[in-house]
Structure 1
C-alpha cells in the first residue's frame, strides 16, 4: 500500500468484519467456528480416505468447494447491496464511501476484496487445509511434495487462489451483465470458449490454481497467476460498486400479482425480490452454482465407485438444497419490524414466506433438474423419484431453517452450535440418499419406491417443522419487542 490511508481502511474493514460477526453470533460461538470447520473437513476427508478414495480426488473436491465459496462470496457481497441497505437502514459502508474518503472507488473496492480474501482465508480455508492434511498424513503427503508441511502450505495457497478466482469471476460476471447487450455477448463468448476448450480435450485444470497444486512448476504458476489477474482486471474494468442505480419507474403491478398469488404479504415478498438488485436472476444464479457442483460430484462419484450414478436421485437430492438459498433471498429484503408497524401478525408473515417459497423455490430447482435430465438422460421412474426427492429435500431444508433461525437464515452461518445442528439435520437424511444414488445404480424397483416414499416423508417433516416453528418464533419475537 502506498500510504497509511489504504492501510488504515484495510485494518478498519477487517476489524469491523470480525466485530460484526462476533456480535451477531455471540462471540464464543463464532470464535469456535474455525475449529468446527477443521473437524468437519477432517471427518469428511477421513470418510473418503477409508472408503478407498485417492488423496488426489479429495484435494480436487476441496478446490471445488473453495471455488464455489468464492463465487457465492462475490454474489452475496455485491448483488445483495440494496438488501443490506433495507436490513441495516440508512448506513454508509466503507466500501461505498468513495465520495467522502480521499480514495478512489477502485482502490476501495480493491481493499474490500483483499480484506475478504485475507479474512476468509484465515477463517475458512486454513482450517479446511489443516483438517484435510492431518487426516491424509498416513498417505505420505501428496505426490511431488517433499513433506506434509509443504503439502499444507501449497494447499492453503492454491485454495486461497481458487477462492480469489471464484470471487473475481463473480465480480467480472456482474460487471459484464451491467454493460448491456455488449457485456452479455462478451460473457457468453468467454463461457463458450471455456466450454469448447473442455469439450475439445484441453486440460483446463492445468491452468488454474488446482493445476499448480498438482504440479507446482513455473509454467503452471505463471498460467494460474495470469488467469487470476486477467479475471480481476476484467472485473475492475467493468464493475462499478458505487454507481447509483438508475431511476426506475414501475407500473402498479401489486394488484395484478396479488390476484394471481392470493396473499398480499406473499406478493410483497416476491415483489421485493423481483425489484431488488439482480431480481429473480440471483435465485437462478445460486441454483446454477449448485447445479455445477452437482455435475462435478456426479462425475467425481463415478470415478470413485466405477458406477454411473443415478442422474435423477443425485441431481434431485442435491438441487433440493437450493431451498436454503431461496429462503435466504426471500428474507433478505426486509425484516419483521417493517411488517409489525401494520396490523399484521407474526404467523401471517411466516405463512407468506412459506407461500412465496413454494411458488419460487421448487420451480427454480425443477428447472435445473429438467436441464440435467435433458443433458444426462434418465429412465422414467428414476426421473420421477428424483423430482419427488428435490421437492421433499427443499421443503425439509425450508422447515429446518425456519425452525432454527426464524426470519434470519443467515444467523447460523457462523454460529457454531446452530450450524452443527443444521449440518446433522441435513446429513441424516441426505447421506443415505446420496449413497444409494451414487453407488447402487441402476436402482431396483424397491429402491425407487423407498426413495420416493422418503422424499414424501421429508416434505411432510419440513412442513411439520415449519408449523411448529410459528408459535416458537411468535413468542420469541414478542419477547424481543
Structure 2
C-alpha cells in the first residue's frame, strides 16, 4: 500500500510539472499559438524533407543521419541549460511564482525526488514537442520522394528511438555539468573552458569516424544491444550522479555586492546607453549561473559545431569549413540577445521617460559588446586553419549576426525566449532565416568571397530594426 501511494504521488508531481510547463508557455502567448508549435515543426520538416533526393546527391544517408542526431544532441544541451535557469526566469517574470522543481521546502518530498521528476518531465514534454512531429514529417515525406533507408518503416521507428536517445544524452550531460559547477564553481568553469579550447585546437586532426562513435547514432546505423547499453550508460550515469549530488541553495539572506555600477559607467564613457550596458553586464554576471551561461549555452555548443564541421570538411572538400562555421556562429550569437532580455521586462522601467525602442537599443548595444567573444573565436580559428578566408568570414559573421538580431527584434521585441514558441512567430522566423542559410551553404561551395553578397542584407537589416522600433513603441503592452 505504501509503495502504491508513493508511486501515485510521484505521478501526481510529474503530471503537475507537465501542466505547469504548458501553463507557463501558454500564459505568455495563448493556448492556440503554443499548441500549433509542434504542428509547424511537422509541416516544416515535411516540406524540407521533400528535397531529400537533392541532398542525397551530395551526402550519404549516414551523413544525413549524423547531422540529424547531432542536431538533437545540441538541442538537448540547449533545453537542459534553459531548464536550469527556470527558477530565476520565473521569479523575474512572475514575481514570487516559482517552478515545482524548486518547491521542495513546502512539499513533503526530497529535492532529489522532485528533480528526478523534473528531468523526466523535460524528456517527455520535448519528445512530444520536437521529436515526434519531426519524425512524423520526415516519414510522411518519405511516402512521396525516394528517401533511401529513411523510407523503411522499421528504420523510421528506430529513428524515433535514437533521436530520443541523442536528445536525452544532451540533457543529462548538461545537468551533470551543472551539478559539477554547483559544487566546484569557478574551478569547473575554468576546466570546461580549457577543455573547449583544446577540442577546438585538435578538431582539425580528428578522424571523422570519431563522430560516428556517438552510441545513439551508431545504433541507428548498425543496431546492437551493446550500443543501446552504451547509450543508456551515457544517460543514466550522468543523471544518477546529478540527482545523488544535487545541490540547490536556499540563501537565508539577501545577496549583497560592492558598488560596481559607477565604475563600469565611467569605463564605458558617457554615451547614451552606457548605464544600460553596465546594468546588463552586472545582471549577466550576478544572475544564476553567472558567466557559466557563456560556457553552457555558447562555447560548448560552438565546440560541438566546429568538430562536426571539421569532420564534414574531410568528407565534402567543396564546403568551406570556416565559411559554414562563420554562418553558424552568426546564428548562435543571436542567442546572446535572448540572454540580455531574458530577465528584463519593460514594466520595470515604465516610470522612466523611456520608450520600448530605447530599451531594445540598449540591449543591442550590449549585444554588440558580447559579439566580441564569437568574433575573437572566429579570428583565432581562421588564423590557425584558413588565414586567407579571415576577412570574408568575419564579414559574413557580422552580417548574419546583424540580420538575425534584426529579425528577432522585429518579431519578438524584448521577449525572444518566449515569443518564438508561438507557432506563427516561429514560422515567420524560420521563413526569414532558413532560405538565407541554405543559399549561403550553396555559395560556400564556390569560395569564401561569394559570401560577400550577404552585405546586401545590411541595409535591409537596418530597415527591419527601424520598423521593429516603431512596431513595439506602438504596441508596448506586449512587452510587459
TM-score (norm 2): 0.87
CA change 1:189–1:355 in 2 (3 A) is closer
Stretch of structure 1 that moved more, 194-203 or 248-257: 194-203
The answer (yes or no) to whether the contact 2:17–2:118 under 8 Å persists in 1 is: yes
Map 1:80-99; keep pairs closer than 5 Å.
81-99=87-105
Map 1:443-458; keep pairs closer than 5 Å.
443=448, 448=449, 450-452=450-452, 454-458=453-457
Partner of residue 292 from structure 1, selected from 284, 292, 304: 304
Any unmatched runs of 5+ in structure 1? none
Q: Distance between the aligned counterparts of 2:259 and 2:248, measured in 1?
A: 30
Task: Give 1:264's aligned residue.
Answer: 275
Output one character per residue of 1:338-365: Cα deviation in whole Å (capped at 9) or x when no partner: 11133333332122112111111x2122
CA change 1:237–1:459 in 2 (3 A) is farther
Q: Calculate the aligned-residue CA RMSD, in Å.
A: 3.1
Q: Distance between the aligned counterparts of 1:220 and 1:429, measured in 2?
A: 38
Q: Distance between the aligned counterparts of 1:461 and 1:82, measured in 2?
A: 36
Partner of residue 423 from structure 1, selected from 430, 435, 449: 430
Task: Give 2:238's aligned residue.
Answer: 231
The answer (yes or no) to whether the contact 1:37–1:124 under 8 Å persists in 2 is: yes
TM-score (norm 1): 0.87
Task: Give 1:468's aligned residue.
Answer: 467
The answer (yes or no) to whether the contact 1:129–1:152 under 8 Å persists in 2 is: yes
The answer (yes or no) to whether the contact 2:131–2:160 under 8 Å persists in 1 is: yes
Output one character per residue of 1:425-461: Cα deviation in whole Å (capped at 9) or x when no partner: 1124332222111x224x5xxxx2x533x34333333
Q: Distance between the aligned counterparts of 1:24 and 1:247, measured in 2?
A: 29
Task: Give 1:162's aligned residue.
Answer: 166
The answer (yes or no) to whether the contact 2:207–2:311 under 8 Å persists in 1 is: no
The answer (yes or no) to whether the contact 1:42–1:132 under 8 Å persists in 2 is: yes
Partner of residue 78 from structure 1, selected from 80, 84, 89: 84
SS state of the match for residue 179, structure 1? helix
Q: Per-residue deviation at 1:472?
A: 1.6
CA change 1:42–1:58 in 2 (3 A) is farther
Q: Distance between the aligned counterparts of 2:377 and 2:438, measured in 1?
A: 21
CA change 1:213–1:182 in 2 (3 A) is same
Q: Per-residue deviation at 1:140?
A: 7.1
Q: Distance between the aligned counterparts of 1:32 and 1:459, measured in 2?
A: 32
CA change 1:167–1:407 in 2 (3 A) is same
Stretch of structure 1 that moved more, 193-202 or 349-358: 193-202
Residue 27 (structure 2) pairs with residue 23 (structure 1): yes
Task: Give 1:12's aligned residue.
Answer: 16
Q: Per-residue deviation at 1:110?
A: 0.6
Partner of residue 48 from structure 2, selected from 40, 44, 50: 44
Partner of residue 225 from structure 2, selected from 218, 222, 228: 218
Q: Per-residue deviation at 1:395?
A: 1.0
The answer (yes or no) to whether the contact 1:109–1:241 under 8 Å persists in 2 is: no
Map 1:368-387; keep pairs closer than 5 Å.
368-375=377-384, 377-380=385-388, 382-387=389-394
CA change 1:257–1:16 in 2 (3 A) is same
Task: Give 1:397's aligned residue.
Answer: 404
The answer (yes or no) to whether the contact 1:399–1:461 under 8 Å persists in 2 is: no
Partner of residue 309 from structure 1, selected from 319, 339, 343: 319
Task: Give 2:286's aligned residue.
Answer: 275
Any unmatched runs of 5+ in structure 2? none
CA change 1:153–1:470 in 2 (3 A) is same
Stretch of structure 1 that moved more, 247-256 or 392-401: 247-256
Q: Distance between the aligned counterparts of 1:385 and 1:120, measured in 2?
A: 38
Partner of residue 440 from structure 1, selected from 438, 446, 461: 446
The answer (yes or no) to whether the contact 2:413–2:479 under 8 Å persists in 1 is: no
